[in-house]
Amino acid sequence: MAKKKVKKSKKPKRRVKKSKDLTIHFMPYSEIAREDAIGRVKKIMGFVLDNKIVILQGKLKADEETRLIENSMTLIGNISGFQGIEIATVSGNGEEEGVFNKIRHNIARILVGEQDAITIIGPASIVKEMTRDPKKVELMLKKR
Amino acid sequence: MIRIIRNFARRLFSGVFKKKGEIKLGFYGSPNAGKTSLANRICQDWLGEDLGSVSRVPHETREVQVKEKVMIERDGRKVEFRLVDTPGIATKVDFEDFLKFGMKKKEAQERAKEATQGIIESIKWLDDMDAVIVLIDSTMNPYSQVNITIIGNLVARKIPVLVVANKIDLKKSDIKKVKGAFPEYEVVGISAKNGDNIEEFYEELFKLVKKAR
């Protein structure tokens, strides 16, 4: 009896959504405030993989940033068209004058998180470069 | 939180059982900042051999490289180092960037794959360092998020940092900009390739060792 040939079904590789439109997603801090590090990274990566540029109110913690980079590196090669991310943060850290203002800033940071910053995260397939100076960020987008 | 506790326990026990004088010194930075060039310079100065290969093509170092028992002597003081040269950390890796250097598609794709794994490995090694040298290419904008993320992580782990502005031999080098970007840190400008200002670097390295102990 002839054996039936079983075709190995190749698992379809996930692709990055292609669109000619550019979407910018503004994420208020409240959207990630209750999430842990994994939840925050997952949420942000979800938008980035949808080819959206995320403007986050506030900033990620140092270990969350490295987790975001690790996550991106894992996805390169596993998700077709994904080349990684571009990220930049601008914050008013250390610009407060006087001890009283610094203490006030630190108390506010403990109570409500680092909200006096803006973090921009975008897929490297769309954002060619983010140039950060101390007080501004410039986004250079790829031609579409 | 778990990572902080684990790191604390590791540092506590490594402190108890650490061989006297041995310092695990990490070299971190963006690709092509000159990490391997500086590690090679140190190894050449004190061992007479190189640690790794260097190239103008980014992500030449794609695996962590370790050189043990590097004894550095200065003003009668001797310190034994374990040098840990890490792959450059980046937020993106596109194999097409390697094609510009004359690589074939397959070779470029393989390099990109290895580079992404190297970046993950670099990040994992952060926990194991006693002290870290963050290399910054002084001809480039120092305000890159990678530099800020690396330093932020080291500060969070309470690992002493020395910022080294490399490539001061090049015309475009702007060490003032690097110092302006990291005002809270000691910044020493060098040319790892030519050995410019290397004595000042060793001086700062010994100050770093004091903080690591």
pLDDT in tens, A41-61: 999 999 999 999 999 999 999
Q: Which residue has the higher pLDDT, A140 or A14?
A: A140
pLDDT digits (tens, 9 = 90+) for B139-189: 999 999 999 999 999 999 999 999 999 999 999 999 999 999 999 999 999
In this complex, is the C-beta atom of A124 within 8 Å of any C-beta atom belonging to chain B?
yes
In this complex, is the C-beta atom of B155 within 8 Å of any C-beta atom belonging to chain A?
yes
Interface size between A and B, measured as CB pairs under 8 A: 72
- Mean pLDDT for A14-35 is 84
* B137 alpha carbon, distance to own chain's centre: 12
Q: Name which of B86, B90, B110, B114 is nearest B99 in CA terms.
A: B110
Chain B residue with Cα closest to A130: B144
What's the pLDDT at B16? 47
Q: Which residue has the higher pLDDT, B60 or B3?
A: B60
Distance CA B45, CA B101 (A): 31
- A77 chain-B contacts, CB cut-off 8 A: 112-113, 116
Q: Name which of A8, A7, A10, A9 is nearest A80 in CA terms.
A: A10
CATH 3.40.50.1100: does it fit domain B2-6+20-212?
Answer: no
- Mean pLDDT for B102-114 is 95
What's the pLDDT at B17? 46
What's the pLDDT at B212? 87
- B156 chain-A contacts, CB cut-off 8 A: 61-63
Q: Are A88 and B141 in contact, with CB atoms under 8 Å apart? A: no
Residue A10 is which amino acid?
A: K
- Mean pLDDT for B19-46 is 92
What's the pLDDT at A111? 63
For residue A76, give the nearest of B93, B156, B180 by CB distance.
B93
Q: From its phi and psi, is residue B69 left (phi > 0), alpha (psi between -120 and 50) or beta?
A: left
pTM, full prediction:
0.85
Distance CA B67, CA B87 (A): 15
- Which residue pairs from B200-206 have beta carbons closer than 8 angstroms and sit at least 24 positions apart in sequence? B201/B164, B202/B72, B202/B74, B203/B74, B204/B162, B205/B72, B205/B133, B205/B162, B206/B74, B206/B77, B206/B79
Contact residues, A window 77-106, toward B, CB-based 8 Å cutoff: 77, 83-89
User: Cβ–Cβ of A62/B152 closer than 8 Å?
Assistant: yes
Chain A residue with Cα closest to B117: A73
- B126 chain-A contacts, CB cut-off 8 A: 66
- Mean pLDDT for A22-35 is 92
User: Cβ–Cβ of B126/A66 closer than 8 Å?
Assistant: yes
Interaxial angle between packed helices A62-75 and A37-49, expressed in degrees from 0 to 180 and rounded to the nearest 10: 40
For residue A84, give the nearest of B92, B120, B143 by CB distance.
B92
Distance CA B66, CA B88 (A): 15
Neighbours of A82 (CB within 10 A): 23
User: Cβ–Cβ of B116/A66 closer than 8 Å?
Assistant: no
User: Cβ–Cβ of A134/B143 closer than 8 Å?
Assistant: yes
Q: Which residues contact B44 (CB under 8 A, 6 or more apart)?
A: B50
Q: Which residues contact A42 (CB under 8 A, 6 or more apart)?
A: none
Neighbours of A79 (CB within 10 A): 15
Q: Name which of B134, B120, B129, B114 is nearest B178 in CA terms.
A: B134
Helices marked H in chain A:
30-33, 37-49, 62-75, 99-112
Q: Which residue has the higher pLDDT, A8 or B35?
A: B35
Mean pLDDT (chain B, rounded): 91
pLDDT digits (tens, 9 = 90+) for B119-130: 999 999 999 999
For residue B123, give the nearest of A70, A83, A84 by CB distance.
A70
What's the pLDDT at A93? 57
pLDDT digits (tens, 9 = 90+) for A95-127: 556 667 767 666 766 666 667 899 999 999 999
What is the percent of chain A with per-residue pLDDT over 90, rounded to a whole number?
54
Distance CA B23, CA B10 (A): 15
> How do the domains of chain B map onto residue ranges?
2-6+20-212
